[in-house]
Amino acid sequence: MNTVAIIRGALRRTGSSIRLVALLYILNLLLALPLALAFRDFMTRALGDSLAGNQLMTGFDFTVVRDALAKDGAGWFSLTRMLVWSIPVYLLTSIFLTGGVLSFLVHSQTRFSPAFFFQECTTYFFRFLKVFLIFGASLLLLALTLGLLLLVLLGLVTLGSPSEVTLITVFLLCAAIFLFPALLLFLAADYARIFVVTSAERKMWSAFREGIRFVRKEFFPVLGLQALLLLFPAVFAIAYLLLEGAIPMVSGVTIILVLLFQQAYVISRMWTRVLFFAAQSALYITRAVP
Amino acid sequence: MRQLRLRFFLLSSFLFALSGRCPGQQALFREPLSPRIANYDIAVTLDADKKTLQGSETLTWHNPSPEAVRELRFHLYLNAFKNNQSTFMKESRGYSRGLSATEGEWGGITVNSIKTSDDVDLTASMEFVAPDDGNERDQTVLRVALPGPVPPNGTIQLAIQFTAKLPKVFARTGYGRDFFMVAQWFPKIGVYEWAGQRYATTGQWNCHQFHSSTEFFSDFGVYDVAITTPEQYVVGATGLQIAKRRNSNGTATVTYHAEDVHDFAWMASPQFVDLRDEWRHVTLRVLMQPQRVHQAPRYFRAVKAALEHLTTHVGPYPYPNITIVDPPFGAEGAGGMEYPTLITAGSMAGVGESLRMAELVAAHEFGHQYWYGIVASNEFEDAWLDEGVNQYYEGRIMTEEYGLKTSFLDLAGIGIGDLEFTRAGYLGMRNPKLAPITTFGWKFPAGGYGSLTYMKTAAVLTTLENIIGRAAMDSVMKTYFRRWRFKHPCARDFIQTFNEIIPAIHADRFGKDLNWFFDQLLFGTDLCDYEVTSISNSTPASPRGEIDSSWVKKPGVGGEELESTVTVSRLGEVRLPVDLLVHFENGEEVVDTWDGQERVKEFTYRKPSRALWAVVDPKGKLVVDACVVNNSKAADPPASPVRKYTAKVLFWIQNILQFFAIAG
């Protein structure tokens, strides 16, 4: 089965997983909403009954923003701390949900059942957490070896450089050299998870090794699939930016309209995530050595 | 005979000094623009490998005072970088303007000999003094006792041999690889002040040590400087190049001549690309790194805008040229500095015009040609008079050329104006009440110098301009410039100019003088903050009880009136006149002026409709006001801003969380 066929299949599969996408979106919204509401409270306190907020309707106003932040500095600090702590919570939530998503896609369930979904999430949570930790450790090892080496090289090459152009160019090259193996590790972790679900593997080191083996063996199909899949979020992002740029949020109606577009974009990101899992699962299932 | 020779010498030297001419050198100006007190003829050779200078200096110093002067004092600024015991290094802990000294890469200057023109050797009479802090290890001020006094209006000529070692640049002067920024590099005589001049109560040398938060002060004169460097080096310097000669040993000597300047700086590098442009009578020369040549138009535009603005609003730029140096990568410590007819800016390849740091720095440093270069206030004692006044003009120039809200940053819908940035620099201090603006430079508590002398001063002057009007402000500054160019004014002279001109323009509208303003904002430390505290609307109570017949409404008067009360408060200690704008539901608007004195003031209105919102300082005149958010209040506050930004923030949080979820 070629890459295009895999993507077509994945699109069909994702198209029939509306309830799954909806659930993922709702969970994302539920996690983000408390922070947004906390921000609303902060902004209400900072602006009070002032008309200064009107300056912000037509665009960014540095003076108003600066003074509002200075007026309620403690509130702003609390808000940023909340955001920072939300990140690991969402990360763990995402690891939790991945099990249910992959199980639904891999086992080709025709009917989405929230109860079964969450049961599968629980089943795979600790295994996927281990995969994540192995991926993290591998990335750290890569950073400490290749990353440090590249930094030393960067320093040596730019030591006598008369211009920052050399520094910037070499830095970008080094970043690209580092990011490529990092990307392969990232993909290996994805396929490790798929392997765990397809073969009920319980040893995560073995699963990660399988992920690396698969990525190495199916190097071009894996990268080709990833590149093609990335077109989808790119198209959605461009479409959103064009729409948002065309509608200024200056009135109640336009605020609601743009809010709807924003949430549509967020839903597209959930949809894209399911699409990626569906396509990767299909690739693995068709190409993996039995 | 010796006396006769000395008198002849003194007379001819005096005439020579006034003419300011080298033998054979055509004068730049028909008449001297300045008193030409300190005149230098210097020959210097740069050893690019050893980073050293060998210098031979002839100083002709004219005593401008009515007193006999028995000693001379010199600045040896480079000795600030000699070791970690200097006052500069102790105060700065090795950091200056965000950069740090490189251990082992020290600098310094040694006066090898100093002789009078009749060969009297004064070398043995040299001693270092520390008039500011008594630091015996600081060698930035040299005292030289004279065998005989220099009489009032007399002249003395000295031959000085010196060697200097340039530090790795981190604080304005030094080298970075093969780039040399040579500033404050020669023994520079201080300024002799007599009683009544500036803050002097007796005759004295004004020759401060080099501190971490001070700059420079010296007298005007004529400079003739011959600079010898490796021949592949491009040289830029104060003044005009009048000669260039290739030497047989692989070096080249470039001679520069500058008249009516009070300092001389130069730079050399083999890498520079030399670009030129013209503005009226002024030649602009930009020395750029090859990789950044595409950024040169930004410098030209900014400096031309500064020339145009200052010529129009302050006075003419008298010199025929200006050189702008773009320091290379690794020598950023040399950037953002001003010297007579030479400035250093700073750009970076890849940083586009959205971030206007290159323009801002160029406009600011050019502005120093006026405030410091021509009006030569004492940068040690009155740093605000050059930095703050110049920062104020920087805001005007940048706003006029690049826009009120976009002159500093204009990127992806986010705009920040130069003046906004300046105001934030003052009000964003951890303690904006740290010290008065007028504090002597080295006496500022840590963290206060930059924010107060630059930012607060600019905010104060902008506020003053808004209060008295641009035309009046220009009238004052034009008078101040005309009166004090090529001289050394102090705070008193600046304020006096305002107190003379403003009553002449505005009568007693702002009182008999503006001391009430300057006392609070220049000499004081308090904050300004006005607030609309409340708006209330009510129906006035119908009269009950014993009613006088004259209280009955006259026929023809409108229907039931509402009574609206707007309460404004002065939260800060600074009292400034301020406007109050009240908007009523029927569209009517009323503007009242309040003298800003009381702590709380109520304004009551009887109108057919209720007051919807009120704004104190509606035109934003009081740039020093600490908080614009509390300047207004609405009876029915708008909900849209909060809704809009809550929606945006929700969206971005959702995306941020989803970004991190990819890893999971």
| Binary contact (A259, B349; C-beta < 8 A) | no
Q: Which two tokens stand for residue B400?
A: 């006029």
Query: Over chain A (290 residues), what is each successive 10-residue block's mean pLDDT?
Result: 88 91 93 94 93 91 95 92 90 92 84 89 95 94 91 83 85 92 94 93 92 94 93 94 90 92 94 94 83
Amino acid at B266: W
pLDDT of residue B3: 47
pLDDT of B247:
97
A168 close to B (CB below 8 A): yes
pLDDT of residue B16: 43
Contact list in B for residue A49 (CB cut-off 8 A) is 633-634, 637
B648: which chain A residues are within 8 Å (Cβ-Cβ)? 249, 262
Extract the tokens encoding B660. Answer: 């991190």
Q: Residue B97: what pLDDT?
A: 77
Please report which confidence band the pLDDT of residue B424 belongs to, taking 50, 70 and 90 as the band edges: very high
pLDDT for res B541: 76
Of the candidates B349, B350, B649, which has its C-beta nearest A36's C-beta?
A: B649
Task: Label residue B12 by pLDDT band (50, 70, 90).
Answer: very low
In Å, how far is A117's CA from the nearest CA of chain B? 17
Contact (CB<8Å) A259/B405 = no
Q: Pick from B42, B65, B161: which is nearest to B110 by CA?
A: B161
- Look-up of token digits 């030409």: B36
Q: Residue B632: which of A52, A83, A259 has the nearest Cβ?
A: A52
Lowest mean pLDDT among A105-119, A243-257, B58-72, B358-372: A105-119
Alpha helices in chain A (DSSP H): 3-15, 18-47, 52-55, 62-71, 73-106, 114-142, 148-158, 164-199, 204-217, 219-246, 252-287
State how far Cα B138 lies from the chain centre: 26
Contact A57 B631 (CB under 8 A): no
Q: Say which residues have a Cβ less than 8 Å from residue B654's Cβ, sequence separation at least 6.
A: A28, A29, A32, A266
Q: Is the ipTM of this complex over 0.85?
A: yes
**Sheet of strand B266-269, all strands in order from the earlier edge strand to the far edge:** B174-176, B179-182, B266-269, B234-237
Question: Across the interface, do A262 and B647 touch by the CB < 8 Å criterion?
Answer: yes
pLDDT in tens, B486-531: 999 999 999 999 999 999 999 999 999 999 999 999 999 999 999 9
Chain A contact for B292, CB < 8 A?
yes
Query: Among partner residues B627, B638, B657, which is closest to A90 by beta-carbon distance?
Result: B657
Say how far residue A47 (Cα) sits from the centre of its chain. 33
Nearest to B629 among A47, A59, A132 (CB): A47
Burial class of B572 by CB neighbour count within 10 A (0 to 12, 13 to 18, 19+): buried
Of A31-45, B1-15, B25-39, the range with the lowest mean pLDDT is B1-15
Task: Give residues with Cβ within 8 angstroms of A49, minimum separation 6.
Answer: B633, B634, B637
pLDDT, tens digit, 9 for 90 and up, residues B640-662: 999 999 999 999 999 988 887 77
pLDDT tier at B560, thresholds 50, 70, 90: low
User: Across the interface, do B292 and A249 touch by the CB < 8 Å criterion?
Assistant: no
**DSSP conformation letters of A97-144:** HHHHHHHHHHTT-SS--HHHHHHHHHHHHHHHHHHHHHHHHHHHHHII
Site from A63, A90, A276 to mutate, B interface, most B CB atoms within 10 angstroms = A63
* Residues B221-250, mean pLDDT to the nearest whole number: 97
Contacts (Cβ under 8 Å, ≥6 apart) of B16:
B60
pLDDT of residue B96: 82
At residue A1, the pLDDT reads: 67
Q: Binning pLDDT at 50, 70 and 90, where does residue B551 land?
A: low
> Which residue carries 């540095």 as its tokens?
A62
Residues 56-75 of A with CB under 8 A from B: 56-57, 59-64, 66-68, 70-71
Q: Closest chain A residue to B534 measured between Cα atoms?
A: A49
CA distance A73 to chain B (A): 12
Report how far residue A268's alpha carbon sits from residue A274's, in angstroms, rounded to the nearest whole number.
Answer: 10
* Chain A residue numbers touching B292 (CB-CB < 8 A): 163
Distance CA A219, CA A202 (A): 25
Is B663 close to A90, i.e. CB distance below 8 A? Answer: no
Per-residue pLDDT, averaged over B549-573, amounts to 77
Looking at the partner chain, which of B420, B648, B657 has a beta carbon nearest the beta carbon of A28? Answer: B657
Contact B258, B41 (CB under 8 A): no
What digits encode the pLDDT tens for the residues B318-338?
Answer: 999 999 999 999 899 999 999
Residue that has been written with the tokens 């119908």 in this structure: B542
**Which residue, among B159, B173, B145, has the nearest Cα to B88 in the 3D structure?**
B173
- Name residue B605's beta-bridge partners: B564
Phi, psi of B223, rounded to the nearest 5 degrees: -120, 130
CB-CB under 8 Å, A71 with B646: no
Question: Among partner residues B348, B417, B613, which is closest to A164 by beta-carbon distance?
Answer: B348
The rounded distance, in Å, linking the Cα atoms of A219 and A221 is 6
Cα torsion B368, B372, B377, B378: sign: positive
Q: Token pair of B106, please?
A: 């020290």
Distance of CA A137 to the CA centre of its chain: 19
B646: which chain A residues are within 8 Å (Cβ-Cβ)? 36-37, 39-40, 43
Cβ <8 Å between B650 and A36: yes
Count of pairs with CB atoms under 8 A, one residue in A, one in B? 192
Q: How far apart are CA B465 and CA B480, in angstroms?
A: 15
More confident residue, B391 or A90: B391
The answer to whether B657 contacts A36, with C-beta atoms less than 8 Å apart, is no
Locate the chain B residue with the closest alpha carbon to A237.
Answer: B655
* CA gap B168, B333 in Å, rounded: 9
- Give the rounded distance of the alpha carbon of A257 from its chain centre: 25
The pLDDT of residue A58: 87
Name residues 212-271 of chain B within 8 A of A (Cβ). 271
| CA gap B480, B385 in Å, rounded | 12
Nearest CA-CA distance, residue B55 and chain A, Å: 28
**pLDDT tier at B6 (50, 70, 90 boundaries)?**
very low
